[in-house]
Structure 1
Amino acid sequence: MQRFQCCANVMLARNEASKKDSNLWYVVKSAPGRQIKALEEMDAVGIDAICPMMRREIRHFQTKTWMMRQFPLFSNYVFACLREPVDFDCLRRMDHVVAVLGGTDGPIAIPTTKVQDICEAQNRGDFDVMRPPSITVLRPDSRVYIQSGPLAGHYASVVKPKGKKAIKAVVEALGTAREIELSIANLKLVA
């Protein structure tokens, strides 16, 4: 029951269609909280549109259970792919579209590669905000991604737990492998 169109499906269709005709991506501002309605309106007239999403784990205030929720990455904005010749009048007639972002020269097209990069990052989970993994999940030889700190962006292999909130891990940086202690709050478990 995904209410926002998946980036992967649209980008796959865009790659196939890009060989046939030229399409341009634009950033469209929707009415506040109306990204879903704007996507539905665009879909009804045949405009491919995406709303990049982020997942966030939140704790229910009463039951204290963890839940996964999806939120728009850019509040009130969607990406729309318009075919040449571009017709902005069809967007102006929509109820849930406020504007197309641009400058003094009119709306500015976004390169397809930028939209693809955002979609790939969404599919990898780069925008997701998850709770840190528990120490019991981080077994020896588990692979983790370091999200913050001086080694942000590197991968590490877990050697052993070090207390309740840290681990010993081997990080390969600058051509050498080093065993260091890392806080689990900075880590993301990867497959």
Structure 2
Amino acid sequence: MTLLVFFCGHAGTGKTTLAKRLIGPLMQASGSPFCLLDKDTLYGGYSAAAMDMLSGDPHDRDSPLFLQHLRDPEYRGLIDTARDNLELGISALVVAPLSREVRERRLFDRAWLGVAPQVELRVVWVQTSEETARQRIVARADPNDAYKLAHWDEYRQRRFEPAGAAAVDLLKFDNTAPTAADDDALVARIVA
């Protein structure tokens, strides 16, 4: 079984921490090798250089300039890299906010993703309260979050919780204070 698993959600929800915690159990439960593709790891340096050249702010990941010109190519590259691994028989765990793609149901669209019918798709929506996410963002002190914190009221307008049609087939996970049993239950839902 080859899996394409997305860990999506807003900043500060703990997507990367959760993915790193679950990749071993996912490999064991599925019997498949996995690669971990984190947007910030793959594109952080490139985006920093591009934004420094374009705006003088290498940490900008939220301004209209970034969102209009770099966001989509980053995400397309992430998905293309996942697809290359899937074609080699390696499952992919993709970590990125992907909120627009969740809302528009693109992560369930095999044609848009470019993946074969036999690839199992799972989309995990990692969530916490807005206040918990903000506390985590402050605590991690990542310069890439400066815009979010300085423009919190604007940023928070982009936050949403999938509901209705957007939530169909999503595996929602409350990452506020998960237990080992919560992790095990999520792994079981992903490989089911």
The verdict on a shared fold, with TM-score over 0.5 as the criterion, is no
Give the alignment's TM-score, normalised by structure 1. 0.23
Which structure has the greater CA radius of gyration? 1
Give the alignment's TM-score, normalised by structure 2. 0.22
Higher helix share: 2
Larger RCO (CA within 8 A; separation ≥ 6) = 2
Higher strand share: 1
